[in-house]
Amino acid sequence: MSVDGWNTVLVLGGIRSGKSEFAESLVTDAPVVRYLATAPEGDPEDTEWATRLAAHRARRPGSWTTEETTEDPRRLADVLASAEPNETLLVDDLGGWVTVLLDPAHQPANDVATIDELADAIRTCSARVVLVSPEVGLSLVPTTPLGRAFTDALGAANRAVADACDAVALVVAGQPVWLKPAASTTTPATPGSTTEPAAPGRATTPAAPGSATAPGGATAAGNANEPAAPGSLADAEPTPEVQLPDVLTHAPPVVPTQEPGNPWAAPTMALPMVATGLVIQPGMELPMPDEFAGPQAVDRLATLDVPGAGLGVLDRVVGFAATTQGTPTPQAWGSVRVLLLHGDHAGGASAGTVAGESARRAAQARAGRGALARLAAESGASLQVVDTPTAAPMEDQPALSLDQVESALRYGWRLAEQAADAGVQLLVLGACGAGTEAAAAAVLAATAGAEPPAVLGRVITDSGEIDDAAWMIRCAAVRDALHRTHRSPRGAKDILAELGGGDVAVATGVLLGATARRVPVLLDGPVGVAAGMVSRDLAGQARHWCLLADHGGHPSVRLAADVLGLTPLLDLRMDLGEGANALVALPLLRSVLALAAALPVHPSLGGDEESDPVLDEPESAYAEPDYAEPEPAGPGPASTGADEQPASGWRAG
């Protein structure tokens, strides 16, 4: 379910308001939903009521399961209390539940106690729950005692459940209005300005006096009293920045001249921005790739003059490059930058790793040694090692503070902006910290309902042995972290603070910044896909700018790729470290793009037969290799040209 990561939501609405349809839309991305039906069957001769029930049943997908709770009103609380963390429940609706509660068959009973039991079950429920209920507070007072008893009981139930839920929405004429956002912070509006009600889980900051909203969402000085558009990049009041470690770059590319003392005052989506004005919040409207260029590029491949069936599954590379470049004839990526994120995770997440090993790998990459640096040099890619804050033990306390998360997101965004300003055409995202696999597994469990043991790969020691004891410690750390946070908000920033840590937060900022600057990102490993999962609630467009070359055998990468809609291009199952696996595939991807751009249309489809000097020569002239010497006239062995060397292979620039 994607409701900014919340666990419990109450959807209120009047008759025929569309409340049930809205509630169902909140759980559409859940693989399996338990539908808890509370309404009794009613009079068999009431065809209108039967038609309503049939319409509800017809909307449910085949993957949903339906359970009836009409026999005992206390059963609903029992089901919620016993639900598992990976489950998604939809309760429709509390009006039917109150009807059963007031049924003479269940009287006498303590209705208040039963309602309190339901509220307590919602508070302690570890599953994700959406409840639907009629809103009766706006109607007239019923004229009958039974009607008044129903509205009184339902009103009490709505109040108790709303207090227990993380979020509450009211649906009016099919339009949802959020009444209770989760962990929402609203700054009072400045005089003369107005702000739109915040979406759930979003922190809103009004535009400063004397600022105006620029197209696309950023604000610039000029016009007072105009609020920032909701879900956009707006100016914020200056806040203290948490200083992240310096970034060292191996073989840095030329960086445009920047203002002294303000190295990050770079434009975002060509919009003006002040030094501390970047606001990263849920629902940002970032660019989408060109949806028409991709299919046009793939259709064009079928017309090219190739002797075989074509590029096979690699035609997806051409389609991806076409959408991100906005042309049906994309070019091979020239300037590529690798961002290697180095940040350790303390506690059980790093069980089985050698102390100081991640720092050694980072230093090795800075010095231009090791697998990643050598592959980057071979591909002509620049390599930037980024130190991120060390994450605290997530089983005991939040991995980062919310201030650290904000700084890390901005830092990652600005790294992407720096790369875009330097002319980088493709970013490769990797990580080398201790405990990254466990942190990514915790993020997947919180965002996709995954079971930690299912997404945590085996722990391999330096000697190549499997360390099952370390694997169990990692699983226990993730389990304890999820238990500690099961009642915490599930917003993107909350997940990063509680579970993700510095590397996942910086990676999320990189994805968002790259999306804003229309720079594609090649993901490689658990940290990148975990950042992709978190970025969905901040900007759903980010995943469309991501490409996954290989899953590397990581179960977490497989699951996240399936959720994000990313199909791995290769299945080499290499494990050279995050970033290195993608660089192995990069020359192949570049070759595919170069070939697709250079080949002409087949002559049978109207293409021109290109002139080839070799075709004008007699057959004997090209029957032998180019380096073969002519056979001597006199007796003796013929020269084979063995001392000659072919031209060196193409080196990506």
Q: Active-site residues: which are they?
A: 578
Q: Which residues contact 631 (CB under 8 A, 6 or more apart)?
A: 638
Could you tell me the CA-to-CA distances from 612 to 301, 504, 515, 615 in Å, in that order?
22, 52, 42, 5
Assess contact for 275 and 265: CB atoms under 8 A: yes
C-alpha to C-alpha distance for 567 and 563, rounded to whole angstroms = 10
**Edge-first strand listing for the sheet containing 521-523:** 247-250, 382-387, 336-342, 426-431, 521-523, 546-548
Q: How far apart are the first and last CA of the chain?
A: 44
Assess contact for 517 and 417: CB atoms under 8 A: yes
Residue among 449, 614, 585 at smallest CA distance from 525: 585
**Edge-first strand listing for the sheet containing 167-172:** 65-68, 34-37, 88-92, 128-134, 8-13, 167-172, 175-180
C-alpha to C-alpha distance for 138 and 154, rounded to whole angstroms = 13
Angle at 591 between CA 585 and CA 593, to 5 degrees: 105
DSSP state, residue 223: -
Question: ω before 93 within 30° of 0 (cis)?
Answer: yes
DSSP state, residue 498: I
C-alpha to C-alpha distance for 153 and 476, rounded to whole angstroms = 43
C-alpha to C-alpha distance for 436 and 557, rounded to whole angstroms = 12
CB atoms within 10 A of CB 460: 14
Q: What is the number of alpha carbons within 13 Å of residue 592 lying toward its C-beta?
A: 22
Assess contact for 292 and 321: CB atoms under 8 A: no
Nearest 10 degrees: Cα torsion 560, 566, 572, 573:
0
Residue among 491, 435, 441 at smallest CA distance from 6: 491
C-alpha to C-alpha distance for 169 and 173, rounded to whole angstroms = 13
DSSP state, residue 621: G
HEC-encoded secondary structure of 246-285: CEEEECCCCCCCCCCCCCCCCCECCECCCCCCCCCCCCCC
Q: DSSP alpha helices (H): ranges in 60-197?
A: 75-82, 94-101, 111-124, 145-164
CB atoms within 10 A of CB 50: 14
The two beta strands, 175-180 and 219-221, are unpaired
**CA-based diameter of the chain, in Å?**
123
Nearest 10 degrees: Cα torsion 130, 402, 445, 479:
-110
